[in-house]
Amino acid sequence: MDNPFENTKATIKKVSEIIKLEPWITKILLNPEKEITVSFPVKMDNGEIKQFQGFRVQHNSSRGPYKGGLRFHWNVDLDEIRALATWMSIKTAVVDLPLGGGKGGVICNPKEMSKQELENMTRAFTRAIALNIGPDKDIPAPDVYTNAEVMSWIVDEFSKINNKEILGVVTGKPLNKGGSLGRDTATAKGALYVLKEAVKDLKDKKVAIQGFGNAGYHFAKFLFEEGCKIIAVSDSKGSAYDEQGLDPEELMNYKKENGSVKGFKDECNILELDCDILAPAALENSITKDNVDKIKTKVIVELANGPITPEADKVLFDKGIIVLPDVLVNAGGVTVSCYEWQQNLANEKWSLEEVDNKLEKTMRENSIKVFEIAKEFNVDNRLAAYILAIKRLSEKYRN
| pLDDT at res. 283 | 76
Do residues 83 and 5 touch, judged by C-beta distance below 8 A? yes
- Tell me the average confidence (pLDDT) per consecutive run of 10 residues in the chain, 399 residues long: 79 95 96 98 97 98 97 94 94 98 98 97 98 98 94 98 97 95 94 96 95 93 96 93 94 93 91 94 87 94 90 92 95 96 96 97 98 96 97 89
Rounded Cα–Cα distance for residues 157 and 341 (Å): 18
| pLDDT at res. 4 | 77
| pLDDT at res. 284 | 78
Domains of the chain: 34-177 (3.40.50.10860), 186-329 (3.40.50.720)
State whether residue 334 is helix, strand or coil.
helix
Do residues 183 and 340 touch, judged by C-beta distance below 8 A? yes
Do residues 54 and 40 touch, judged by C-beta distance below 8 A? yes
Dump the DSSP string for 243-268. TT---HHHHHHHHHHHSSSTTSSB--
| pLDDT at res. 399 | 66
CA proximity to 180, closest of 334, 66, 336: 336
Residues marked active site are found at 103
| pLDDT at res. 2 | 60
Rounded Cα–Cα distance for residues 242 and 225 (Å): 17
Terminal Cα-to-Cα distance of the chain (whole angstroms):
40
Residue 92 CB-half CA count within 13 A: 29
| pLDDT at res. 310 | 86
What does R_g of the chain's alpha carbons equal in angstroms? Answer: 20
